[in-house]
């Protein structure tokens, strides 16, 4: 019987690489306080495959401390390896696949994520890649494994790409999953008990991540979500979400980190979720991501009452023109209101900020920093914008530099800490952006008023230890970078 390894490969050039998005990696390093999260998309894939049933093993190599040498001893037992790759991890991922395939000559590799979706031919040109999966992977991989196990013609399946004697073949898209309730609840027992995930935003342990929606209704020019999901947004039902939360509690989980692109999209559904959490007295705390224009004061109060303690917002910039340049479709006032209402409700906030947006200058960076200090987020991260494949910003760059479509040189060493084609839409040099990225972290975090405010919000020794660990990493980054 075919045995499958669902693998989060070892990191080579960076530590705490976060790969819990369906696109693959989204960030890494000291800049995010050393945060780590379990590989939710891989666990969902494995859970679906387990229903076939087929022998499935999940290994999160970085979290379990397993090296490539260790994996080479394990891989000889498997016929298929599945990994989730991205534009910034691909170079390291294919190196790992190459070594695993050398150890097991019969091994087939299946690769999903953002880069296979948006640059399929580029991925397939690498000899370590046998099959790519476009967009949502769960049901595609399920159908693929079934066809391969039965010796059927898997090459005709939608949503995949592969190499054949006549060249590269990329099939049409597989239909997006219409009803997300069809997806099973993730089987967390698939994850090794040796896996460890430090995250400074988490208040209670043990915790898990979860996903209740897919997609985002907006079309920001820097974001992969619209293209990846075919400009569609879908949600699990309130009943399904609550049933999942009950299951978490039954298994001893204390907190859920919701990893939706924008959890607050479906307001009526969410109101039902908040009210059910309160009415049923479900003992779970949680945190989520939102847009500043999707919440009001009363909703935030209800979220707090239902167990929410932190909301993460994409602030991006404190300059209205820069927000307009990337079609963010929010106003400075909406951001100010959202952060004030969150404070009034007793909620922590996190501000995601981008440096190097189209039109960025030294003065706009200074204005953004003043703005971030004024709205007083609990925490903030500042990263250099990257034109990812599948985004309007990428296409804008490609009009001047078409060679960007022929290959992709971004890797983990430079992710969000070095500029990548920003000179096509921003006047600042790579060196200037790298300087300002460290400077704004210093100027935001090393204020006595901020340190005092942060300490007064800490409620436990464990939270204090986590804040200290994360804080030292961020401060180290602000001085030395991710060296």
pLDDT tens by residue, 119-148: 999 999 999 999 999 999 999 999 999 999
Per the structure block, which two tokens stand in for 67?
A: 């090296």
Q: What pLDDT, on the 0 to 100 scale, is given for residue 32?
A: 55
Does the pLDDT at position 283 exceed 60?
yes
The per-residue pLDDT for range 201-216, each reduced to its tens digit, is 899 999 999 999 999 9
Q: What percent of the chain has pLDDT over 70?
A: 89
Q: What pLDDT, on the 0 to 100 scale, is given for residue 212?
A: 97
CA neighbor of 112 nearest in space, from 25, 208, 230, 175: 25
Classify residue 372 by burial, with Cβ atoms within 10 Å: 0-12, 13-18, 19+: buried
CB of 383 within 8 A of CB of 355? yes
Q: What pLDDT, on the 0 to 100 scale, is given for residue 91?
A: 86
104-118, 405-419, 468-482: range with lowest mean pLDDT: 405-419
Alpha helices in 376-460 (DSSP H): 392-400, 430-445, 448-456
How does the average pLDDT of the chain come out, rounded? 89
Nearest 5°: CA angle at 211, between 131 and 253?
120
Does the pLDDT at position 475 exceed 70?
no
Give the CA diameter of the chain.
Answer: 66
Classify residue 178 by burial, with Cβ atoms within 10 Å: 0-12, 13-18, 19+: exposed
Q: What pLDDT, on the 0 to 100 scale, is given for residue 418?
A: 54
Q: Is the pLDDT higher at 421 or at 239?
A: 239
Q: What pLDDT, on the 0 to 100 scale, is given for residue 132?
A: 98
Domains and CATH numbers, the chain: 4-170 (3.40.50.280), 201-480 (3.80.30.20)
Per the structure block, which two tokens stand in for 127?
A: 């000899």
Q: What pLDDT, on the 0 to 100 scale, is given for residue 416?
A: 45
* Run of H or E including 214: strand 213-214
Does the pLDDT at position 438 exceed 50?
yes
Q: Is the pLDDT higher at 403 or at 120?
A: 120
Q: What pLDDT, on the 0 to 100 scale, is given for residue 30?
A: 47
Report the relative pairing of strands 160-164 and 167-170 from DSSP bridges.
Answer: antiparallel
């Amino acid at each position: 019987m075919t045995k499958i390894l669902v693998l989060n490969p070892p990191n080579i050039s960076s530590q705490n690489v976060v790969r819990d998005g369906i696109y693959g990696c989204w960030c890494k390093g000291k800049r995010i306080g050393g945060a780590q999260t379990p590989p939710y998309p891989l666990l969902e894939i494995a859970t679906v495959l387990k229903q076939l049933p087929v022998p499935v093993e999940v290994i999160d190599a970085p979290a379990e401390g397993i090296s490539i040498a260790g994996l080479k001893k394990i891989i000889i037992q498997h016929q298929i390896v599945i990994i989730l790759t991205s534009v910034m991890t691909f170079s390291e991922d294919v190196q790992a696949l190459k070594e695993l395939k050398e150890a097991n000559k019969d091994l087939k590799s299946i690769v999903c994520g953002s880069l296979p979706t948006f640059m399929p031919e580029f991925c397939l040109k690498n000899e370590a890649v046998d099959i790519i999966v476009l967009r949502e992977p769960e049901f595609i991989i399920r159908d693929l494994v079934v066809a391969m196990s039965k010796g059927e013609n898997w090459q005709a399946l939608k949503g995949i790409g592969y190499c054949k004697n006549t060249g590269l073949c990329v099939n049409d898209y597989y239909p997006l999953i219409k009803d997300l309730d069809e997806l099973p609840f993730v089987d967390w027992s698939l994850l090794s008990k040796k896996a460890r995930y430090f995250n400074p935003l988490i208040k209670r342990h043990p915790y898990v991540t979860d996903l209740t929606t897919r997609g985002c209704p907006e079309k920001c020019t820097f974001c992969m979500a619209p293209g990846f999901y075919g400009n569609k947004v879908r949600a699990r039902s309130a009943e399904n979400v609550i049933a999942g939360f009950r299951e978490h509690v039954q298994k001893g989980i204390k907190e859920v980190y919701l990893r939706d692109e924008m959890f607050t999209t479906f307001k009526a559904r969410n109101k039902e979720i908040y009210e059910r959490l309160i009415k049923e007295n479900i003992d779970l705390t949680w945190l989520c991501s939102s847009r500043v224009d999707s919440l009001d004061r009363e909703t935030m109060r209800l979220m707090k009452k239902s167990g929410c303690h932190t909301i993460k917002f994409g602030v991006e910039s404190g300059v209205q023109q820069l927000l307009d340049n990337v079609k963010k479709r929010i106003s400075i006032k909406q951001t100010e209101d959202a952060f004030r209402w969150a404070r009034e409700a007793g909620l922590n906030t996190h501000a995601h900020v981008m440096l190097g947006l189209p039109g960025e200058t030294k003065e706009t960076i200074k204005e953004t920093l003043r703005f971030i200090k004024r709205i007083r987020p609990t925490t903030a991260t500042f990263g250099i914008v990257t034109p990812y494949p599948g985004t309007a910003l990428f296409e804008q760059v490609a009009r001047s530099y078409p060679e960007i479509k022929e290959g992709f040189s971004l890797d983990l060493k430079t992710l969000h800490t070095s500029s990548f084609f920003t000179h096509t839409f921003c006047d600042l040099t790579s060196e200037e952006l790298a300087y300002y990225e460290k400077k704004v972290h210093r100027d935001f975090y090393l204020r006595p008023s901020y340190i005092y405010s942060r300490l007064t919000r800490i409620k436990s020794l464990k939270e204090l230890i986590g804040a200290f660990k994360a804080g030292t990493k961020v401060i180290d980054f602000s001085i030395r970078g991710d060296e």
